[in-house]
Amino acid sequence: MQAGNKQALRMLIERYKHHVFKVTLSVVHNEKDAEDLAQEAFIKMIDALSTYQSQGFKTWISRIALHKAIDYKRKKQRQKEELTAFDQDYQWSTGNHVEKEVLEKEKIMRVRDSLEQIPEKLRLVVHYYYLKGYSYKQISEKLMLEESTVKMRLYRARNWMKQHWKEEDF
């Protein structure tokens, strides 16, 4: 790498290091992990610079940092689940029931991890519907909203999720 390129990279890193750190910290809520993830994001940035298409550098590096942090959080959550799975007293039945139960549990964990990203106005409705299993009526009573408002917010939340989340996540 030429000296000019190295200097340009240093300038980019210096300019965006606090922003990238804030992005990772907002996901992992641990300064040490956020620092490590910020460094990983810059390494990924250097590797991916050839694919950068001038779509807004701050947005691009933020997306890299966000994905690094989300991947880290998911990995950490999976490790935590694996450790706690041994401690729980499961009554495993046979065949598809077990598979369905595990897949449903994973889906709930993905929704919980991603719930913080949903606009606040929609977040509670999604929480009660998907995580608590409440009906439209129960949600409307709990949040003191019309049932039609609950349906509309869930519809908007689903559209928001389709636009902002990867399809394979759900």
- Lowest-confidence segment of 65-69, 79-83, 138-142, 145-149 by average pLDDT: 79-83
For residue 2, the model assigns a pLDDT of: 57
Alpha carbon distances (Å) from 66 to 40, 117, 123? 11, 11, 19
The structure's pTM equals 0.49
pLDDT tens digits for 5-56? 888 889 989 999 999 999 999 889 889 999 999 999 999 998 888 888 877 8
pLDDT tens digits for 117-163? 788 788 888 888 877 888 999 988 988 989 999 999 989 988 887 88
Secondary structure of 40-81 in the HEC alphabet? HHHHHHHHHHHHCCCCCHHHHHHHHHHHHHHHHHHHHHHHHH
Which parts of the chain fold into alpha helices (H)?
Answer: 3-28, 31-48, 57-85, 96-114, 120-126, 136-143, 147-164
